[in-house]
Chains A and B, each alone.
Chain A
Amino acid sequence: MLLNLFKFKGGVKPPTNKTQSVGLPIAQAPLPSKLVVPLHQSIGGTPRPVVQAGDQVLKGQLIGEADGWISAAVHAPTSGTVVEVAMHTQAHPSGLDALCVVIAPDGKDEWIARETVDYRSLTPEEVRERLQQAGVVGLGGAVFPTHGKLTPAKTVPMDELVINGAECEPFITCDDLLMRERAEEVVRGIGIFRDLLRPKKVLIGIEDNKPEAAAAMKAAVDALGEPFLVVQVPTLYPAGGAKQLIRVLTGKEVPASKRSTDLGVQCFNVATAYTAWRAIAHGEPVVSRLVTLTGNVAEPRNYEVLIGTPMDELLKLAQPHPDTDGIVMGGPMMGFLVPQPSVPVVKATNCLIAHSERLFPPKAPEMPCIRCGSCAQACPHELQPFEMYWFARAKNFGKTQEYKIFDCIECGCCSFVCPSRIPLVQYFRFAKSEIWAREREKNAADQAKARFEFKQLRDEREKAEKAEKLAKAAAAQAAKKAAEAAAAAPATDGAAPVAATPAVDVEKDAKKAAIEAAMARAKAQREAAQPKNTEALTPEQQRVAAEIEARRVAAHLIDPEPAAPPAGEKAE
């Protein structure tokens, strides 16, 4: 079946340097002396460590638990003892530390219990979760968690599934060897992706400088009876970039602002398909990967390497020449010199190139831009690198964004062709990270502002509520007291009201009312008490009282009128 291929603009043809490392089959790298497994090996959240120093772990045992949906689990690459969970230098251009689990291998390489399942009996959600639990990430270099890419867009039908076996970067041959030797499992892995995404067609893109790999893949596809198309694409760097391969195979252009699923296309690396199959069908999490050892070495070859293997120890297998002065991780176009030779291999490590000045002569100093436009012709994304360079250099980041700096895939074509040897990609990386940092700061400031305003609002509301509550309580108290006072006043004949109700002092009014009420009650009591004394007296008492009254009258202390009758009676 013939497929009409498209072209992307630009691109370069650096010397491929691939033949050195394809002569020998894949070899198993021996167990290293120690394994330093970084927890953060994929895009997204940093997995949480679930082991401690001293723990015994088995090969494939979970050591880092995925943190959130866009995050992938990390596993012990071999059986042994956890020595420490500590910060170690990373294979990262910064040379900074990150949290790693250090494992001392026990030499047994003993697996945990592996569960083999038929993925067709699982729901798509279960398959995605298993992929996340197995730590399957994009092994082409971007290490995006694979399960996060396996949900088709709801609105756009999935047209094409693109499988990336192009491997365009010089020196790297790990995908080539994988397809040659393990094509069947790669195709089975593609089958999983196909069943989850249900695309109309599946296209496997392989650069035409890898005829053996293409033949092996074709044979495997035919043997399994799958309707996948194996397409040989012209060898042109960067045809293996996801966006470029999608462009070549489908004619679709994916802008930075959109995801490829929004255009009905999704792209996976062949090695990702292979690890997905191993994870689902064999229950093997990602604990190793193929790494090309090449460059300034005597025995370039591809090895199956445990994640966490120190790079210097690994490179010794390929017998580096004595003038080796560093290790490049990745290819010569997009790779970087690792900060220390002892940094560990991670899931993104596809190739280690022994660096020497003979192999990569130092660049002559940078010259001014002469506006020749070579970079714009070489750019596979049809950007204008010289314009972005001006603005990045002048730190005019708004302008770099206007010139679509985030569409730049940092492939290095512009730097490769620049006659003035300007490190254009470095300027773009600088501009991008500055823009990201500003965005982070802006978001933090916006969040702080929103929280501050909310706190102020809440403080005011609380104050108002408190004042309202107090006023209400005071009013209620005052009303209660007034009512009590009103009730107490007419009840002068009431049978012994309590002497003094304890007045709750809330507000002055309430207090006043209470005092008044209490005084009223006391007065009423007094009044009621006076007639009580003279009621129901014995005759003896009456007589004594009358005598006293008579004396008082005699002494003119009181009015004689009321006392007169008893006095008169007495007189009788």
Chain B
Amino acid sequence: MEIVLSIAVMALGAIVLGAALGYAAVKFKVDGDPLVDKIEAILPQTQCGQCGYPGCKPYAEAIAKGECDINLCPPGGMEGVQRLADLLGREVKPLDAEEKPKAVAVIDENTCIGCTLCIQACPVDAIVGAAKQMHTIVASLCTGCELCLPPCPVECIRMEAIGENIDNWKWKYPVVTIKAAPAQKAA
């Protein structure tokens, strides 16, 4: 008799807890993969495809699935690799490409023939123009992805690095000045 009772109690417990878990699974269901969103937030959103995936989201999905390395994003740079490594608990690897300074595309408006091919290639609609009309790039929207370079039949698009100017200048890490002080004294 006792054994039956104990089995019944355990069974009841299993049913109640199972129902609770089932309810929780429905109620607290998370749509989408939160890890993908976190990875995507780190990626620079240039949508350049230099990682071999057609955009930042597919790359983020591939990283989340563990299909690819975390060092394939040149615009994100080493800092991006570092942050991905921190997020995923993976090892930091050197970037699989050369790190380039941030640049924007510039159309040589004298050469442009108005073919609209670059407009179609631009992932962020940063090129303004119409067929047989000169095109130009909205520099503030350009992500520097370079996707407009290959389709141009007259090679009138070039990349121009964004140099340091008064608006984007940053205060430097103070270590530099500390090193300078003893050197001056020695001299």
Contact = CB atoms under 8 A, between A and B. Distances in A.
Interface of A: 40, 90, 92-94, 96-98, 362-363, 365-366, 423, 426-427, 429-430, 432-434, 436-437, 440-441, 444-449, 451-452, 454-455
Main DSSP-derived SS at the A contact region: helix
The interface centre, meaning the residue of B43, B44, B171 with most chain A CB atoms within 10 A of its CB, is B171
A448 B44 CA distance: 9
Contact of B181 (A90, A94, A365): A365
Interface residues of B, number: 29
Given A365-B182, A448-B47, A449-B56, A455 B174 contact: no
Nearest to B56: A449
Contacts of A437: 168, 170
6 contacts: A98-B165, A365-B178, A365-B182, A430-B170, A436-B170, A449-B56
B177 interface: yes
Interface in B115-162: 123-126, 141, 143
A117 to B, nearest CB: 36
Contacts of B178: 365-366, 423
Main DSSP-derived SS at the B contact region: loop
Contact of B141 (A40, A426, A440, A451): A451
B45 A426 contact: no
B171 A448 contact: no
B82 to A, nearest CB: 11
B138 to A, nearest CB: 10
Nearest to B181: A365
Given A362-B181, A455-B123, A449 B170 contact: no
A452 B124 CA distance: 5
A509 to B, nearest CB: 32
Contacts of B114: none
A455 B147 CA distance: 15
A445 B164 contact: no
Contacts of B28: none
B186 to A, nearest CB: 12
B4 interface: no
B170 to A, nearest CB: 4
B166 interface: yes
Contacts of B164: 94, 96
Interface in B23-76: 40, 43-47, 55-56
B166 A98 contact: yes
Nearest to B145: A448
6 cross-chain pairs, A with B, having the tightest CB-CB distances, nearest first: A445-B45, A429-B171, A433-B170, A451-B124, A426-B174, A94-B169
Contact of B45 (A363, A432, A449): A449
Nearest to A451: B124
A426 B123 contact: no
B178 to A, nearest CB: 5
A423 B174 contact: yes
Contacts of B46: 448
Nearest to B179: A365
B185 to A, nearest CB: 8
Contact of B172 (A97, A430, A446, A449): A430
A94 B166 contact: yes
A365 B175 CA distance: 11
